[in-house]
Amino acid sequence: MIVTLTERADTDAVRRALTGLGLWIESTERSERGPVHFVIGRGSTAVEPERVAGLDGVESVSQSRSKHPRVDAQGVLLRVTDQIVLGEARPVLIAGPCAVESEEQITRLAHRLAALGVQVLRGGAFKPRTSPYDFQGLGAPALAWLRRAADAAGLAVVSEVMSERHVDEVAAVADLLQIGSRNMQSTSLLAAVGRARKPVLLKRSMAATVDEWLHAAEYLLVHGAAGVAFCERGIRSFDPSTRNLLDLGAVALLAGVHRLPVVVDPSHAAGRRDLIVPLARAALAAGAHGLMIEVHDDPACAESDGAQALLPEALADLGRVS
């Protein structure tokens, strides 16, 4: 909080009044001929700003500066490619398999998805799996197949970066770099991805507050990211009926109040395909600017997340989103 004194204020009297309220004056600033400002320190007692504004000798009170100024300054629009902008009225549809499994699979899917109005092809080459015994992704070759398939179908590409070692190779093929839920607070990875100077899709950690999510975005921006879109993918809850709990309150808050670009991933939130379409519709109603949906043309044989994969044709049930 910054307290600005009136021209004729008794500085010592105001200081005593502030201290009496439990406020710690971290510093005093006085410009050449201008008014005196007291900067109130963070550890101070919480006092209503109106109470401070009512003290004798106080001209005005302003709240402290934001802790994530770059996020606040970013605005709602995020340019992914020359043609694709997140944050506009027209939602962006991102779809593709959980993991890239072969060149044939991703090429086949890319063409089918493009015909269904999808603009960005997703697909993991490096997969963050809970168990080390599960499919871990096919790595570098999968990235090359993903890019070739997207180019052939006229799509942009998003793919996850899991390690600082892989930033350059993923950045060489992806238009949008994905930070997965499990890495939202890996600050050295955020810094390395930021230095690639590309737009980033920042998935919310399954246990992160909105404030922690905003700070993770600030890490990306302070290190040079071209912009950040926030991807809500469900937070952990007490209820195992769904894989996670889709937090649409956070979507409305970030999209509608903070005016930041927001994408919703109903696939990882629900964990089951029968809930994807209703959750996707609800996400758009809450203000999401994009959807990221897992699809597979043979879900029963998917290497990962088959239970939540939609058949490509099922995207048509969303109605026209883009």
The residues of the shown chain that bind ligand PEP, judged by CB under 6 A, are: 98, 124, 128, 160, 180-182, 203, 233, 268
Binder of residue 160, out of ligand PEP, Mn ion, none (CB less than 5 to 8 A by kind): ligand PEP
Number of residues that bind Mn ion (CB under 5 A): 2
4 burial (CB, 10 Å; 0-12 / 13-18 / 19+) is middle
The helix/strand/coil state of 65 is: coil
Which region, judged by CB under 5 A, interacts with Mn ion, from 64-72, 131-139, 231-239, 297-305? 297-305
C-beta of 128 vs 249, nearer to ligand PEP: 128
- What CA–CA distance (Å, rounded) separates 62 from 5? 12
Which one among 305, 309, 310, 318 touches Mn ion, defined by CB under 5 A?
Answer: 305
C-beta of 127 vs 215, nearer to Mn ion: 127
Minimum gap (Å) between residue 53 Cβ and ligand PEP: 44
Instruction: Give φ, ψ of 280 to 5 degrees.
Output: -65, -40
C-beta of 105 vs 181, nearer to ligand PEP: 181
- What CA–CA distance (Å, rounded) separates 115 from 53? 60
Minimum gap (Å) between residue 298 Cβ and ligand PEP: 18
C-beta of 91 vs 180, nearer to ligand PEP: 180
Binder of residue 203, out of ligand PEP, Mn ion, none (CB less than 5 to 8 A by kind): ligand PEP
Closest to 236 (Cα-Cα) out of 204, 260, 263: 204
Considering the rule CB under 5 A, would residue 125 count as an interface residue with Mn ion?
Answer: no
Binder of residue 289, out of ligand PEP, Mn ion, none (CB less than 5 to 8 A by kind): none
Q: CB–CB of 295/310 below 8 Å?
A: yes
C-beta of 147 vs 268, nearer to ligand PEP: 268
C-beta of 57 vs 234, nearer to Mn ion: 234
Binder of residue 112, out of ligand PEP, Mn ion, none (CB less than 5 to 8 A by kind): none
Which one among 98, 121, 177, 276 touches Mn ion, defined by CB under 5 A?
Answer: 98
**17: which strand partners?**
none
Which of 219-231 are b and which e, b meaning 16 or more Cβ less than 10 Å from the residue's Cβ?
A: bbbebebbbbbbb
Q: Which residue has the tokens 């699809």?
A: 295
- Give the orientation angle of helix 103-115 with respect to helix 140-153, to 10 degrees: 30
Minimum gap (Å) between residue 141 Cβ and Mn ion: 19
Minimum gap (Å) between residue 127 Cβ and Mn ion: 8
- What CA–CA distance (Å, rounded) separates 44 from 64? 13
Binding flags for Mn ion, 249-288, as an x/- string (CB under 5 A):
----------------------------------------
Q: Give me the DSSP letters along 252-274.
A: HIIIIIS---EEE-HHHHH-SGG
C-beta of 170 vs 226, nearer to Mn ion: 170
- Give the orientation angle of helix 187-195 with respect to helix 210-222, to 10 degrees: 40
Binder of residue 156, out of Mn ion, ligand PEP, none (CB less than 5 to 8 A by kind): none
C-beta of 232 vs 305, nearer to Mn ion: 305
The helix/strand/coil state of 120 is: strand
Classify residue 69 as left (phi > 0), alpha (psi -120 to 50) or beta: alpha
Binder of residue 129, out of Mn ion, ligand PEP, none (CB less than 5 to 8 A by kind): none
Contact residues for Mn ion, defined by CB under 5 A: 98, 305
